[in-house]
């Protein structure tokens, strides 16, 4: 740990030139690099910019400012703002603080596949996954009416109306999904009253609003650190909660990490450009962050951004649902029976949550860690928190404690320690023993005749190799010691699908 003032058993203060309250939740065992600290200090100067614009009318009648900043234990350098940054903004939103991967999140399913069947998910299973995910076997079609409904409301809109003849759609049990919505954050969708910017996607190639057509977005894993992973419950730290959530020892689970793909990019790019354009005249800030006021003459632009952001997040919910169905289909076709599953939880970790018109909680690579709620029949003593490890390390499911000091936020993974370029230079044996299904089969006959393609694929996989990430155990320990969430179950990786 760098020389930061310690404020508790698992917290540090990050000094800034303007004394903005920045708290890093971590223990001394968590790896933190200077570049990440420098990046958050640079971001903190946004507060100076905002304060300089107060009183100019830019924020209307609202006194704008950043309330405070929280950093989760997986905190690491990002694209201007570190991943693992949470802050409350009054009077404005910051599109760059969310970026293009809007609504990215985790979905975890508990299946009825036990240890006895796990061995049967062999090379045939790998082949089925590759066909379904990458070789034209997705078989996911939506109508324009469904796409519009999904963008406006999320998963529930998908469950209403007809469905096409489809092997993937056939895995969707409407009654189960309606029940699972109670286990989804925000019931699987945020209300968005403006989806006009997605008109081309909604229409697709359909001639009529009820025609089912396929697109290149729905059912896409995406790139970078996105994945779908098959796992097995290795240990239960909280046996009662693990049982209630369907995470008994030996249970096979499906974890999907993905976002809004091209739709989020469309929203992020458009409104980051707009925020730069409306910045008051004169020299633009060196920190590179521009805001959209929620009041005054530009308030409508912030409203439009939030509507587009929520629509993209709704698509991300639905995209993760289909990713889970695609794995269930591959399992069913391999095992020769219908595999059933129940949702443990689905929540985004890259989004803005609004508390009224002017108060907005930004989470960049940080997931909600909500605590006890006597009115919630599914999670009365704390909501699930899903923290994946690397492809070679365990993932964890925890139970949120509703810690207000952390803005009820936890880490969304272990956190990178090596940039992608550096990771590609790691030893090839870094991926030894790790089972990956990707766009190509490096052992296939066609690829054996093109060793250059196989070599490039292996280098690309090294970007996500275990050595590129922090060890997950100190991260989980820090979350627990900080009183953010308590461990429930440990999941060991079996197979990872990478885009």
What's residue 426's pLDDT?
Answer: 62
What's residue 219's pLDDT?
Answer: 96
**Total Cβ atoms within 10 A of residue 421:** 8
What's residue 386's pLDDT?
Answer: 98
CATH number (domain holding residue 97): 3.90.1860.10
Question: Is the model's pLDDT at 264 over the cut of 70?
Answer: yes
**How far is residue 244's CA from residue 34's CA, in Å, rounded to a whole number?**
42
**How far is residue 51's CA from residue 285's CA, in Å, rounded to a whole number?**
13
**Token couple for 9:** 């058993």
Q: Is 424 part of any domain?
A: no
- Paired strand residues for 411: 366
**CA 176, 182, 184 angle in degrees (round to 5)?**
100
Asked if 469 contacts 414 with a C-beta cutoff of 8 angstroms, the reply is yes
Q: Is 1 part of any domain?
A: no
What's residue 195's pLDDT?
Answer: 97
Q: Is 236 part of any domain?
A: yes
Domain assignment of residue 151, given as a range: 6-417+469-497
Q: Is 464 part of any domain?
A: no
Percent of the chain exceeding pLDDT 90 equals 83
If 0-12 CB within 10 Å is exposed, 13-18 middle and 19+ buried, where does residue 453 land?
middle
Q: Is 444 part of any domain?
A: no
What's residue 499's pLDDT?
Answer: 86
pLDDT tens digits for range 424-457: 666 666 777 889 999 888 777 666 667 776 677 6
What's residue 269's pLDDT?
Answer: 97
Question: Is the model's pLDDT at 359 over the cut of 90?
Answer: yes
At a CB cut-off of 8 Å and minimum separation 6, what does 264 contact? 100, 101, 102, 103, 104, 312, 315, 316
Asked if 308 contacts 267 with a C-beta cutoff of 8 angstroms, the reply is yes
Count of structural domains within the chain: 1
> What is residue 377's three-state secondary structure?
coil
Query: What rounded mean pLDDT belongs to the chain?
Result: 93
pLDDT tens digits for range 464-476: 777 778 899 999 9
pLDDT tens digits for range 488-497: 999 999 999 9
Sign of the Cα torsion 143, 146, 151, 155 reads negative
Q: Is 428 part of any domain?
A: no
What's residue 1's pLDDT?
Answer: 57
Q: Give me the helices (H) in 154-291, please.
A: 155-159, 174-180, 199-203, 239-244, 261-278
Unique residue bearing structure tokens 């998908």: 158
What's residue 184's pLDDT?
Answer: 97
**Token couple for 485:** 């969430």
What's residue 341's pLDDT?
Answer: 98
pLDDT tens digits for range 84-108: 999 999 999 999 999 999 999 999 9
Q: How confident is the model at residue 283 (pLDDT cuts 50, 70, 90)?
A: confident
pLDDT tens digits for range 369-415: 999 988 889 999 999 999 999 888 999 999 999 999 999 999 999 98
**How far is residue 72's CA from residue 85's CA, in Å, rounded to a whole number?**
7
Percent of the chain exceeding pLDDT 70 equals 96
Q: Is 259 part of any domain?
A: yes
Q: Is 454 part of any domain?
A: no
Question: Is the model's pLDDT at 25 over the cut of 90?
Answer: yes
Question: Is the model's pLDDT at 421 over the cut of 70?
Answer: no
Asked if 361 contacts 88 with a C-beta cutoff of 8 angstroms, the reply is yes
Asked if 381 contacts 43 with a C-beta cutoff of 8 angstroms, the reply is no
């Amino acid at each position: 740990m760098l020389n930061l003032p310690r404020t508790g058993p698992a917290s540090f203060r990050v000094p800034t030139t303007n004394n903005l309250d920045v708290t890093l939740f971590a223990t001394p065992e968590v790896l933190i690099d200077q570049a990440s600290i420098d990046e958050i200090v640079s971001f903190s100067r946004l507060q100076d910019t905002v304060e300089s614009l107060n009183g100019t009318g830019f924020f209307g009648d609202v006194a704008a400012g950043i309330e405070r900043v929280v950093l989760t234990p997986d905190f690491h350098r990002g694209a201007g703002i570190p991943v693992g940054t949470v802050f409350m903004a009054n009077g404005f939103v910051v599109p760059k603080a969310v970026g293009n991967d809007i609504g990215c999140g985790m979905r975890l399913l508990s299946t009825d596949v036990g240890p006895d069947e796990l061995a049967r998910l062999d090379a045939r299973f790998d082949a089925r996954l590759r066909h379904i995910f990458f070789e034209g076997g997705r078989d996911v079609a939506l109508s324009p009416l469904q796409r519009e409904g999904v963008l406006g409301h999320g998963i529930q809109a998908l469950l209403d109306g007809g469905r096409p003849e489809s092997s993937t759609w056939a895995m969707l049990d409407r009654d189960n999904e309606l029940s699972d919505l109670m286990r989804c954050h925000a019931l699987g969708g945020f209300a968005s009253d403006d989806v006009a910017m997605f008109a081309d996607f909604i229409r697709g190639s359909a001639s009529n609003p009820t025609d089912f057509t396929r697109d290149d977005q729905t059912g896409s894993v995406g790139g970078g650190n996105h994945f779908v992973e098959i796992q097995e419950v290795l240990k239960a730290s909280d046996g009662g909660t693990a049982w209630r959530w369907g995470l008994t020892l030996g249970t096979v689970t499906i974890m999907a990490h993905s976002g809004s793909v091209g739709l989020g990019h469309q929203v992020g790019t458009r409104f980051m450009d707009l925020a730069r354009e409306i910045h008051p005249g004169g020299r633009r800030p060196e920190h590179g962050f521009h805001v959209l006021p929620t009041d005054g003459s530009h308030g409508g632009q912030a409203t439009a951004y939030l509507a587009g952001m929520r629509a993209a997040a709704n698509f991300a919910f639905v995209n993760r649902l289909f990713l889970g169905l695609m794995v269930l289909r591959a399992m069913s076709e391999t095992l020769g029976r219908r595999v059933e599953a129940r949702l443990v939880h689905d929540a985004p970790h890259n989004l803005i949550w609004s508390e009224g018109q002017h108060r907005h909680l930004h989470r960049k690579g940080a997931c909600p860690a909500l605590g006890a709620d006597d009115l919630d029949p599914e999670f009365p003593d704390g909501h699930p928190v899903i923290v994946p490890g690397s492809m070679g390390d365990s993932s964890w499911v925890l139970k949120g404690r509703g810690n207000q000091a952390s803005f009820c936020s936890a880490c969304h993974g272990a956190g990178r320690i090596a940039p992608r370029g550096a990771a590609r230079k790691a030893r090839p044996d870094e991926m030894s023993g790790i089972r990956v299904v990707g766009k190509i089969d490096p052992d296939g006959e066609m690829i054996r005749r093109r060793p250059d393609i196989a070599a490039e694929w292996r280098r690309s996989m090294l970007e996500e190799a275990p050595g590129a990430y922090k060890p997950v155990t100190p991260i989980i320990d820090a979350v627990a010691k900080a009183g953010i969430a308590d461990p429930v179950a440990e999941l060991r990786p079996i197979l990872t699908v990478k885009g």
